[in-house]
Amino acid sequence: MAAVNSTESGQGLTHVRADGSAHMVDVSAKPETTREATAQAVVRTTTEVIALLSEGGLPKGDALAVARVAGIMAAKKTPDLIPLCHPLPISKVTVDFEMAESSLRIVATVKTRGVTGVEMEALTAASVAALGVYDMIKAVDKHAVISELKVLAKSGGKSGDWVLQDAGSGEGQ
């Protein structure tokens, strides 16, 4: 199979050289712009666990506070976890929660002023926040499922703004 390489037209994989080896993309010539990305993860659980989450009645304590801090910390550690991600000066991270009957939607937004986007940071924040929730609820629901990890929107940079159509709430999907 032939290796795919980046081209001026934007086709190909930017992290793969012509010989097929991976490398970190050189972003030094890119202009600095304000960039933002939002991602989500959904934790599917029971209605009883959602009630415990909303009341703060879990045996381990306040799951949402723990998950929020875990997500924020994870966004800042993304280049330590994802080998080809650039370290970025993150200026803002928010991790919010939307409860439904039997699911918890986690929405993470990351903002920077830099030369590359923050989609990976937003995905990392959402996924680690979901893992934090799972850790806090596993004593009462070992069968909880983490799903629907995806980028919902991004802005800034050469490719401009983008929003996922029909992002959904996570409930019933």
Catalytic residues: 135
Sole residue written with tokens 């993304």: 78
Judge contact between 104 and 143, C-beta under 8 A: no
Q: Which residues of 77-89 are buried (b: 16+ CB within 10 A; e: fewer)?
A: ebbeeeeebeebe
The overall longest dimension of the chain from CA atoms, in Å, is 55
Q: Tell me the β-bridge partners of 99.
A: 104
